[in-house]
Amino acid sequence: MAIARIKSFIDSSIRTVSTPLDRTANLEPEVGIRIVHSPTEKALYVTVIGARHLPLNFGFTRVNSYVVKVKLLPGKEKFETTSKSESWPQWNEEFTFALRKETKSKFGKTKITEEEIGGSKLIVATLYAVLEDKPLIATEKKEADKDKGSSLGKGETSKKDAKRKDAAKDQSASQDSTIGKGGKLLDQFFGKGSDKLGNPSEKKGSARDKIFDKRRTIGAVTIPLDSRSFVSKPVKPKHSSDVSTGDLWRPVRPIASGISGAEDRRENKKGQVEISLCQEKDDKKDGTGRLVLSLIRLRCSLQTMHEQEALKGQLYIKMSVVDGERVTHFWKSDRFSPCVSMKFSPESARVIAENPYEGALKDVSFVVKFVSKNKMGKKVTVGHFVIGADVGGSYGEQWKQALAKPGQQIAKWQAFE
């Protein structure tokens, strides 16, 4: 009897402890947003409250800081928060989107447009991670060396300082002797100072590019501006008519395009692309024109992104037209760093299968590859798929729909196998 009581007590204790642990283990990254609509000011006030449960590292690279970019869609205005280094950052930064805009025409006339709030408008907050320069292993080693250096005795430290001072004196003495000889060696090696300084704007541009190269997209939060969402009053309203959504905490999701066919995308561990297939109309051939495959967007899985980040590899997408067993045409994207989502221009990112006579597309297929290339130049295919007449599943279905509806863009999400 006593053993049974002890057993039931242990089981109940395990249940009460394991439930909170399971919840915390599966928590997703979230971003907090507060939106205030001011009809009097004709503006939206969007406050980025903060974020929580953010990843500390990408692959073997540690995250240095986090940034949130806010946009009103449709629209071109966008704002960005300051960078925060905590995994639970708090910004509380407010951004203003004007709903009443004045535009001037060529003849000097002013046109005023007032945008209304509705479900068709969206606030999109994209969360970025800014990575450190060195891999996680190198960072930890550096920190360990620092700790080891701090544990040295005062005598050893003073000896090192003395050696450094002596070396600095010798270096300054040698520089003075060089300058005393007329500065010929200095001019010979370094030339004029003004030539070597360069353009300050170029330095700023390169530094800015370097910062953007370190950025990785974690995901985005999308909030429709439905009037039913504005149900509360702001804490400190500027006008009596101001309404607020309150504090909205939403999980960060991978970025999707919202184009038709996006609901059919298949989730997998490799990633997926949104592609459009269209058979162009040709009056001379009664609607049997060439077949065009266009790339719209890449959506990479977090697992693949972390793996490629660890390998320090560059990624690219290659689309080929295969006639029989021979590649007739292909298109290859520029290399890019591992990311969650990337958009392409369908006008340039495309391949075309010619259709000169009836039955010419019988042996034609499209091959789409997702390729990684590391620093050593080794190429590895992350995933691929084939679209053609004899292919099953969603790949063959897109082919059949394009041939059945000439002139229409058949857009679908296709997963890499």
Closest Cα partner for 36 from 53, 24, 28, 48?
48
Dump pLDDT digits (tens) for 198-226.
444 444 455 555 555 678 888 889 898 88
Give the Å distances, CA to CA, from 146 to 61, 133, 141, 151, 412.
Answer: 19, 18, 9, 9, 53
* 90 pLDDT tier (thresholds 50, 70, 90): very high
pLDDT tens digits, one per residue of 291-300? 999 999 888 7
Give the pLDDT band (50/70/90) at residue 189: very low
Tens digit of each residue's pLDDT (9 = 90 or more) over 316-329: 999 999 988 899 98
Q: Does the model's pTM come out above 0.85?
A: no
Between 28 and 9, name the one with better pLDDT: 28
Percent of the chain with pLDDT over 90: 23
- Residue 158 CB: number of other CB atoms within 10 A? 10
pLDDT at 303 over 80: no
Q: What percent of the chain has pLDDT over 70?
A: 66
> What is each CA distance from 45 to 32, 41, 42, 67, 250, in whole angstroms?
14, 10, 10, 19, 18
Q: Where are the alpha helices (DSSP H) in 125-183?
A: 136-150, 154-180
